[in-house]
Chains A and B, each alone.
Chain A
Amino acid sequence: MSAPSNSENPTIAESKTERFRDLFRTPPGDQRQRVIRAVDVHKIYGSGSEKTHALRGATLDVLRGEYLSIMGPSGSGKSTLFNMIGALQKPTSGKVYIDQVDVAQLDYNELAWFRCRKVGYIFQTYNLIEVMTCLENVMLPMAFAGMDNEPAREKAILLLERVGLGRRMLHKPSELSGGQQQRVAIARSLANSPEVVLADEPTANLDQRTGQEMIDLLDNLKQDLGVTIVSATHDLKMLQKSDRILWIEDGRIVRDARPSEIDFASAEFH
């Protein structure tokens, strides 16, 4: 597989950006509709005497195009809630609508289809497949979605160029720095033009400066493509960039606020 040469011609660069946007643009219409809706979600692990009530009636809305951060101490149900929103687990009771589809009703194969096309994932540990090149990594979700090789490659190349890795497409993940791997992960998460991107502590393994670059990149993409981002994070910089912050404690959403309303210096958030 060969990467195309980066052209310096402004016209070509412009049309590339235009093309990029076209591939990702969400259809016009109600831009502020709810892309995720969780209603009274309960999740119980285990059985008999070993029951853990991870979520006790969590309710939340995520609007299209917004950047939402979820915070909470360990054991608060944060990871469970995150999994619910990301169609990784099904609730014990309650409803989780992603793009107006109740995920609790889907069987495992349908969930896989759903995950593939509606949700993009960014992990704390990047989770790139070591045996594949960056290009192949970004192409993988598209292969799962049944896209043909050629268009998938084109799109993957565009994505990788967009995140600034145009020259490293044929390298393996092990040959890249943490920041670069996370960029590939970001590109991969956008491969199937998902409704929502789920970011699990994306900057936790990165240094301050690289982390900032990542946050800026995500913000950029969000504005460019109108994609919704839900992140679980402790990173101040990310929180400050969010549109909204949710606190979860003891399996329930206890607070929902805008960054401007929060005094970050206080001990309120851990």
Chain B
Amino acid sequence: MAQTTFIPEQVKLPLPVAVGVVAQGIRIRLGRSVVTLTGVVLGIAFLMSILTTQSLKRAVATEDALREAASRMYGALVAESGSIYGRPLALVVTQKPSEEEQRLLSRLVREGARELRVWSKGPPLPGEAVKPLRPQLVSNEVTLAHDVAAIVVLGSGPLPQLDWSLAVNAAHQKLLAFSGKRSNQPLLAPNTNYVELARPLRAEQLAQLAREAKQDRFRGRWIIAISLVVTVIGISNAMLMSVTERFRDIGTMKCLGATSQFIRRLFLLEASFTGAVGGAIGAVFGTVFAVVSYFFLYGPRLIAHAIVGELASLGAAAGLSLLSGVLLSIIAALYPAQFAARMLPATALRTNV
């Protein structure tokens, strides 16, 4: 004999109450929250460091190109001379060395050249480029080239007066390397190994570089995608643990009148909090990590300048990271939240009546 009574929709619980419960919950279960938080932090830090790196890379592109060119020259040189570690080098300066040539010299010093002998006739060599070695000025061909790994002619200027046959014969491998651009290499002595270090790249090499860059980008994106998926799974797992731990609380609240929607909202809120905080911390960590790495690679001055120039894009990257943190956490929490919301109060209580 039931009257069809009109039962109104359960009143939506005001948001502040839900927020209060969540905040208290996080405070109480700080230990477990920290684990979830760390997961978010790591995932977002990784994302942010990648984005920051991309930004900074753009800013140091010029410097990068120079180092790249110097690297190629160095490679060309050691291909002919073999390792220069512990061996002397002879330098003939025809012109103030270009930026690339200066990087080459630094590289040679870093790779262990034992001494640098410079032909005394010609423009001076900037001491900066060859620190910590101190170049020795030499005016005798034999002394200049005795047992050197190579004689390197820097710059594209006119060749100084020099008995090239004498010099080349004194060199270990009779290797004469031109690092500057010359329309054609002058043949200066018989039986000499000539090598042009500053060869322009052939088309195939350029294509190869482009392919490699593309592969790098693809690989980079793939790694980001995977790391984000791992982060999401980690958060999901932590949230499922959290739901299981609170079976009893969920059941109790449902008995007291909480709707499924309320329960779901509780967990999604908790996830958003964790995501926001984790995203913020992760963004900071990621930026710091990338900037510090670049500090060591390129020097503080260049990087500070780069940061100022790229401030807008860095800000956008930070915002994106923060948003990702929140979004990823919410996505990760969808299944656990649904699981909790779906629980029948009786199941959740497990009363052994």
A interface residues with partner B (beta carbon < 8 Å): 74, 78-79, 82-83, 86, 88-89, 95, 97, 100-102, 105-106, 108-110, 112-117, 119, 121, 123-125, 127-132, 140-141, 143-146, 188, 192, 200-201, 232
Contacts and interface: CB of A to CB of B under 8 A. Distances in A.
Contacts of A82: 351, 353
A174 to B, nearest CB: 10
Residue of A117, A121, A188 with most partner-chain B CB within 10 A: A121
A88 B28 contact: no
Contacts of B14: 143
A113 B8 contact: yes
A144 to B, nearest CB: 4
A100 B5 contact: yes
Given A108-B260, A116-B257, A131 B352 contact: no
Given A89-B344, A131-B24, A132-B21, A232 B353 contact: yes
B11 A89 contact: no
B344 A123 contact: no
A100 B1 contact: yes
Contacts of A105: 2, 4
Nearest to B256: A141
B249 interface: yes
A121 B351 CA distance: 12
Contacts of B4: 105
Contacts of A201: 353
Closest 8 CB pairs of A and B: A116-B257, A79-B353, A146-B11, A144-B257, A131-B24, A102-B2, A113-B10, A88-B346
Given A100-B3, A121-B255, A144-B11, A132 B24 contact: yes
A108 B341 CA distance: 11
B227 interface: no
With a 10 A CB-CB cut-off, give which of B7, B9, B21, B259 has the most chain A CB atoms: B7
A146 B10 CA distance: 9
Interface string B248-277: 110111111111101000000000000000
Interface of B: 1-5, 7-11, 13-14, 17, 21, 24-25, 27-28, 248-249, 251-260, 262, 344-346, 349, 351-353
B7 A106 contact: yes
A125 B255 CA distance: 14
A185 to B, nearest CB: 10
Contacts of B2: 95, 97, 100-102, 105
A123 B351 contact: yes
Given A129-B249, A131-B28, A88 B344 contact: yes
Contacts of A129: 21, 249, 252-253
Contact of A200 (B1, B258, B353): B353
Given A113-B11, A117-B257, 5 more contacts: A109-B260, A110-B7, A113-B257, A146-B11, A201-B353
B25 to A, nearest CB: 5
A100 B8 CA distance: 16
Contacts of A131: 21, 24-25, 27-28
A95 B10 CA distance: 23
Contact of B13 (A95, A124, A144, A188): A144
Given A88-B346, A89-B346, A127-B248, A145 B7 contact: no
5 contacts: A88-B349, A100-B3, A102-B2, A109-B9, A140-B256
Contacts of B9: 109-110, 113
